[in-house]
Amino acid sequence: MRIAGADRHVTVIIPCLNEEAPIADAVREVLSQQVDEVIVVDNGSTDETASRAWQAGARVVAEPRRGYGRACAAGFAAVGPRVDIVCFLDGDGSDVPGFIPDMVRPIVENRADFVMGSRRRGTRENGSMTPQQLVAGHIAGLLLRIVYGVRFTDMSPFRAIPAAKLAGLGMTETTYGWNLEMQMRVAASGLRIAEIPVDHRCRRGGESKVSGRLLAGLSAAWKISATFVRLLFSLKKARPAATDVVTPPRLPAGNSRPRP
């Protein structure tokens, strides 16, 4: 992928569970941004997620053991040694791949080691995020600011990080706590952080595994809370990481940014 006048090998990892309806379009949208590779991790789907992702141009990795963190880790384990930057996003079509260049640019320009896409700061389609998701992101951001002195406004799955930096974090979480663990380890390690506004859409098909389902939502909330408590007492705090809030040009929700 060529960005900011430099060539960097960018791989996008998409963890998936039963996303046969939106996954093909999601893969094609990501590939339209001229990334080098899309890895879709099939986390034990019982539908046609894997075949549709492959037909759309993704490399498909199977991780039959259920768990969001397991799927993300399996995708990263499949990344080749030449990959410079990895980007994560969801396979339900809610994340807007047109923002990938904006996510990668601060890393390429050596202004950040970790870039978070903030749905809260971007433009959201009505109903794309539940009040519980917004509150959870706000609370997590507040706690991270108190503990580490960094500013996050979201726990969005849409994020980018150099492959070497991610390998050095020592990620262990196998559940929905993966995203929070990454943010905590990044902050505790003193890595440079950038947060940019990204647009967010309603899912493009299928059913959410968490939103709108009480028991699933409570289970995810418990796992995320347990992750925070566990890591709070095990991570050693490094120097405070700098947080740079970058505001890219706006995109209408639902549109992809044209190729650079």
Q: State the pLDDT confidence band at 137, using cuts at 50, 70 and 90.
A: confident
Instruction: At 55, list the tokens.
Output: 């037909």
Q: How many percent of the chain have pLDDT more than 90?
A: 67
Three-state DSSP at 249 gives coil
Q: What is the pLDDT of residues 26-78, one digit of tens each?
A: 999 999 999 999 999 999 999 999 999 999 999 999 999 999 999 999 999 99
| Mean pLDDT along residues 198-209 | 85
Instruction: At 204, list the tokens.
Output: 């493009």
Look at residue 142 and tell me whether its pLDDT is greater than 60: yes
Between CA 222 and CA 203 the distance in angstroms is: 24
* Structural domain boundaries in the chain: 2-245
Q: State the pLDDT confidence band at 218, using cuts at 50, 70 and 90.
A: low
By DSSP bridging, strand 193-197 and strand 243-245 are parallel
- DSSP codes, 41-83: EE-S-SSSHHHHHHHHTPEEEE--S--HHHHHHHHHHT--TT-
Q: State the pLDDT confidence band at 17, using cuts at 50, 70 and 90.
A: very high
Residue 204: other Cβ atoms inside 10 A: 18
If one compares 225 and 11, the residue with the highest pLDDT of the two is 11
If one compares 15 and 127, the residue with the highest pLDDT of the two is 15
Q: State the pLDDT confidence band at 118, using cuts at 50, 70 and 90.
A: very high
Please tell me the predicted confidence (pLDDT) of residue 129: 85
Mean pLDDT of the chain: 87
Are 1 and 107 within 8 A, CB to CB? no
Q: What is the pLDDT of residues 161-188, one digit of tens each?
A: 999 999 999 999 998 889 999 999 999 9
| Mean pLDDT along residues 232-253 | 58
Within 57-155, where are the H helices? 68-77, 100-108, 131-148
Between CA 162 and CA 145 the distance in angstroms is: 23
If one compares 221 and 82, the residue with the highest pLDDT of the two is 82
- Read off the amino acid at residue 135: V
pTM comes to: 0.85
If one compares 121 and 226, the residue with the highest pLDDT of the two is 121
Q: State the pLDDT confidence band at 110, using cuts at 50, 70 and 90.
A: very high
Three-state DSSP at 89 gives coil
Please tell me the predicted confidence (pLDDT) of residue 253: 46
Please tell me the predicted confidence (pLDDT) of residue 243: 57
Please tell me the predicted confidence (pLDDT) of residue 213: 54
Between CA 208 and CA 73 the distance in angstroms is: 21
Please tell me the predicted confidence (pLDDT) of residue 234: 79
Please tell me the predicted confidence (pLDDT) of residue 215: 59
Q: State the pLDDT confidence band at 217, using cuts at 50, 70 and 90.
A: low
* Domain 2-245: top CATH class: alpha beta
